[in-house]
Amino acid sequence: MTISLDKAYDYCKKLTEKSGPHFSVGFRFLPPAKRRAIYAVYAFCRYADDIVDEHQEQALEPLLQAWEAELEACYRQKAQHPITIALADAAQHFPIPKEGFLGLIAGCRMDLEVGRYASFKDLMIYVDLVATTIRDLSLPIFGYSDAKGIHLGRSLSTALQLTNIVRDVGEDLDRSRIYLPLNEIKAAGYSEAELIAKVKNEAFLKMMAFQCKRVRGYFDEAAYLIPMVESDSRVAVSLMRNVYVALIDRIEKKPFEVLDTQIRLSLADRAKVVTQTLLENKG
């Protein structure tokens, strides 16, 4: 029996809010059609990412191929999964490009093949697949008035992904992955062996300070995207940025925590960011 459209969207909403409690804070401030569409987009991407992160004991390529096949079915309006049923509907209302999802899946494949990045240039190949594609999928929903929004959207998506990388250092180590560029680790006087051993020293702090400063540069540039998106999307996009800036604030205060714990903002901290953002966007 085919699931109803309302239940399909509700499935996407619940998955998004559970898996992306920081990323999705602003979604609830979107008008209904945009909110439902962005939930569907995020849920599709989250599902693909979870294939790689949560099925380590299985053969992952067939699972990715099956999800890719479901994407093709989605764009032929023959979806079977709750996520793609919702996405197929969203794609009827917004020009959401299938190519963005294909790029995201290609990025997930990189996680199966690449566990280290020699330089930031190498890392950005991955970031463009898993993050810049999110720009391509989101901006048609948010709407934007200036072609510069494409470049600034890349700045925001890059900042979000680099924040994830800095935040999840310990988790990624537990999956035998290092996303921090190896040449930058070395330049800080740290080493891959020390990172794997989760050694806490001044070199690690120096490395983290460099990473966080670069992320802030991308967030500073991304601030210029806000007035370019449609007025009913500005609070949502502002919150995508501001919640993650608050994460960087937290990481900079206690950098060693990323080695041992999941860095998350409390509900109270998120509420504070929401209040400040609403005041900034008032009027």
> Which domains are delineated in the chain?
7-113 (1.10.600.10), 116-283 (1.10.600.10)
Count of Cβ atoms closer than 10 Å to residue 224 Cβ: 15
Q: Per residue of the chain (283 residues), give pLDDT as tens.
A: 578 999 999 999 999 999 888 888 999 999 999 999 999 999 999 999 888 877 665 678 889 999 999 999 999 999 999 999 999 999 999 999 999 999 999 999 998 889 999 999 999 999 999 999 999 999 999 999 888 999 999 999 999 999 999 999 999 999 899 999 999 999 999 999 999 999 999 999 999 999 999 999 999 999 999 999 999 999 999 999 999 999 999 999 999 999 999 889 999 999 999 999 999 887 5
User: pLDDT at position 145, please?
Assistant: 87
**CB burial of residue 61 (10 Å; 0-12, 13-18, 19+):** exposed
In angstroms, what CA-CA distances link 12 with 36, 69, 207, 262? 8, 19, 37, 23
Looking at residue 2, what DSSP letter applies? P
Residues in the chain, overall count: 283
* DSSP-based three-state secondary structure for 22: coil
Q: Which pLDDT score is estimated for 57?
A: 53
CB atoms within 10 A of CB 31: 11
Token pair of 229 as six digits: 């998106």
Residue 56 is predicted with a pLDDT of: 62
Tell me if 208 sits within 8 A of 251, measured CB to CB.
yes
